[in-house]
Structure 1
Amino acid sequence: MVFGPASQLGVSLFEETPPLERFPNSSSEDLDVIIRAVYRQVLGNAYVMESEQAVVPESQFKSGELSVREFVRALAKSAAYSSRFFETSPRYRFIELNFKHLLGRTPEGLEEMRSHSTILDTKGYEAEIDSYIDSDEYQNAYGENIVPYYRGYKTAPERTMVEFTHMFAMLRGASSSDFKGSLAGKSAVLNKYVIQEIPVPIIPPSGGSVGDGWAFQEPDRTASTSLVGGGEQGKVYRIEVTGYRTKAKVNQISKFRRSNQVYFVPFSRLSEKYQSIHRQGGIISSITPV
């Protein structure tokens, strides 16, 4: 089950679409639907040009020579996948995307990331792809003829809240594209959060109006944070703010140079700062005591 309203979390389409499976009596139209679904899943919803289509594996799949699992393997080893996610991305970005595309979840922790990094070092790119598709987990979840789908956002026994929140950092709604990257660009989204096993705020995907919410991106080390007032009144609170935009036009970025900022505010000035942020067009993603 989904923890919270699927529509607000950006996963309603995934919830409303049942898994696709190839059957012995699947029609030509059914196979075309499955092929499109495999492209969408494996290539992270990226646009695929005609010249990038896996023509031979498609033909073999339609003729029954390849199962869904083997078609997934062929596409994940294709130049279209390699050029998008391997050749142009840092190692841990590539690995976290492999988990997302091929197993439908995020890495469980640092050791899992390290093991796949070792496979890349010692056995190479194709062995890394095989390590997901040949795993017992893949077989148990999808078998030979189910198209892989996103599972990591669902609550389940033995799944920690950390993993649950990490999936939402990677899954920014049904219209997002992994090829274009996240707010972090081509950098790994989960790197330090996986290493330190830190949960992240669950923020609705970016929308068409100011109130729809934006994903928060941690400022880099060169970005300044602000301490508002002193801490003489006791607790200090950390406020994460996203998507500063003007109120004049939808989605127009305001005069603020950075759209993600962090403030440290004493309790006595919390209400004042809260109102100030909203007047300036910011979206508060979280308020936590320091």
Structure 2
Amino acid sequence: MTFGPASRLGVALFEETDPIESIPGQRADEQEAIIRAIYRQILGNAYVMESERASVAESQFKRGELSVREFVRAIAKSDLYSSRFFETTPRYRFIELNFKHFLGRTPKDLEEMRVHSTLLDNGGYEAEIDSYLDSDEYQATFGEDFVPYLRGYKTSAGISMVSFTHTFAMQRGASSSDLKGSISGINPVLNRNVINNTPIPVVSPSAGSAGNGWSFQESNVRDAGLTRLGSGAGENGKMFRIEVTGYASPGKVNRISKFRRSNKVYYVPFNRLSDEYKRIHATGGVISSITPC
């Protein structure tokens, strides 16, 4: 059963679907379902044309010559994966996607990113791919026969709450695509948040009637586009930082944000929080986070 509000955060598919395992003697249609699941996970839910499929590796898998892990390796080292996620994207976007596709989570910290960046420099593309699939973590989590799946939204040993919030920034719903479905385009989604070990507001990926986060995008510069509605802490009370997303134009055909940025930051003293809360919702905004300064 999907837990709490996470059913609205793009992970219901993973909560409601048991891990997929390849076992000997499966029917042809069951093998085909496993192959589709592998493409969906490893290629980030991006569409795969018939001519792009790894026909040789698929045949070997169906004959039992390749395990799920080795079939994943064949897809990951293919021209298809390389052209989509390596050749046309910055290295840190490539690395954060590798973590998601192969280990089902986001990078823990800057050091993990550095290790893989160095590996790319010294060992090259194939060594980078092998580092995930040959890791103890992969073997302990998926073994030879389970299809990798998103798991970073669940609590587990060694995974911080910061990484938990990063997962929702990387996974924007079951229908999103890592190839074309991110508002960030080819730019890294986590980047400075991994470097600084800072959490990201967890907002719903679904559109709904007032946005509800589908257009949310972290500012490239911290507090860019901020608006100060109070003079500071003091007699008005402590200051609070309000981050808002999902601005829309009620009654218009085009409901895309009327602001140049898809999120906006306000600083408000405590005694004005209630009024500001009402104003934001009256103008079509959705509050993604409220934090004391």
Same-fold call, TM cutoff 0.5: yes
CA deviation after TM superposition for structure 1 residue 179, in Å: 0.5
Aligned residue number for residue 125 of structure 2: 125
Name whichever of 210-219 and 276-285 sits farther off: 210-219
Aligned residue number for residue 169 of structure 1: 169
C-alpha separation between the residues in 2 aligned to 1:217 and 1:199?
13
Aligned residue number for residue 199 of structure 2: 199
Structure 2 residue 79 is the aligned partner of structure 1 residue 79:
yes
Output aligned runs, 1:150-161, within 5 Å: 150-161=150-161
Indicate the SS of the match to 1:5.
helix
Structure 2 residue 105 is the aligned partner of structure 1 residue 105:
yes
Structure 2 residue 226 is the aligned partner of structure 1 residue 229:
no
Q: Name the CA shift for 1:254/1:152 in 2 (closer, same or farther; >3 Å).
A: closer
Backbone CA RMSD of aligned residues: 1.9
CA deviation after TM superposition for structure 1 residue 136, in Å: 1.1
CA deviation after TM superposition for structure 1 residue 254, in Å: 4.5
Asked if the contact 1:210/1:251 (under 8 Å) is kept, the reply is no
Aligned residue number for residue 21 of structure 1: 21
Aligned residue number for residue 273 of structure 1: 276
Aligned residue number for residue 143 of structure 1: 143
Asked if the contact 1:19/1:149 (under 8 Å) is kept, the reply is yes
Moved over 4 A (4+): none
Q: Name the CA shift for 1:44/1:254 in 2 (closer, same or farther; >3 Å).
A: closer
CA deviation after TM superposition for structure 1 residue 271, in Å: 2.0
CA deviation after TM superposition for structure 1 residue 216, in Å: 3.1
Which residues of structure 1 form unaligned runs of 5+?
Answer: none
CA deviation after TM superposition for structure 1 residue 66, in Å: 1.0
C-alpha separation between the residues in 1 aligned to 2:24 and 2:254?
48
Asked if the contact 2:212/2:286 (under 8 Å) is kept, the reply is no
Instruction: Output the amino acid matched with 2:52.
Output: E
The CA deviation string for residues 141-193 of structure 1, in whole angstroms up to 9 with x for no partner, is 11111111111111123322111111111111211111015232211111111
CA deviation after TM superposition for structure 1 residue 108, in Å: 1.0
CA deviation after TM superposition for structure 1 residue 69, in Å: 0.6
Aligned residue number for residue 287 of structure 2: 284
Q: Name the CA shift for 1:198/1:51 in 2 (closer, same or farther; >3 Å).
A: same
Instruction: Output the amino acid matched with 1:226.
Output: T
Which residues of structure 2 form unaligned runs of 5+?
Answer: none
Aligned residues: 290
Percent sequence identity is: 67
Instruction: Output the amino acid matched with 2:59.
Output: S
C-alpha separation between the residues in 2 aligned to 1:250 and 1:177?
25
How high is the TM-score relative to the length of structure 1?
A: 0.94
CA deviation after TM superposition for structure 1 residue 36, in Å: 0.2
